[in-house]
Amino acid sequence: MTAHAPERPAAGGASPTAPAPGRAPRRRRTGAGGTALTVLTWAIGLAFVSPALWLLLTAFKEENQAATDPPTLLFQPTLDRFSAVLGADFLPYLGNSLTATLVSTLLVLLLGLPAAYALSVDPVKRTQDVLFFFISTKMLPVVAVVVPIYVAAAELSLLDNVWTLVVLYTAMNLPIAVWMLRSFFLEVPVAIVEAARVEGAGLLRILWSVMLPIMAPGIAATALICMIFSWNEFFFAVNLTASQAATVPVFLTGFITSEGLFVAQLSAAAVMASLPIVVVGWIAQRQLVRGLSMGAVK
pTM: 0.79
**Domains, the chain, ranges and CATH?**
89-292 (1.10.3720.10)
Over the stretch 12-51, which tens digit does the pLDDT of each residue have?
A: 444 445 555 555 555 555 567 778 888 899 999 889 888 8
Over the stretch 113-164, which tens digit does the pLDDT of each residue have?
A: 888 888 887 777 777 888 888 888 888 888 888 999 999 999 999 999 999 9
- Angstrom CA distances, 24 to 38, 78, 80, 181, stand at 27, 54, 59, 55
d(CA 15, CA 173): 68
Instruction: Tell me the average pLDDT across 251-268.
Output: 82
Residue 98 has a CB neighbour count (10 Å cut-off) of 15
Q: Is the pLDDT of residue 263 over 80?
A: yes
Closest CA to 108 of 180, 215, 211, 209: 180
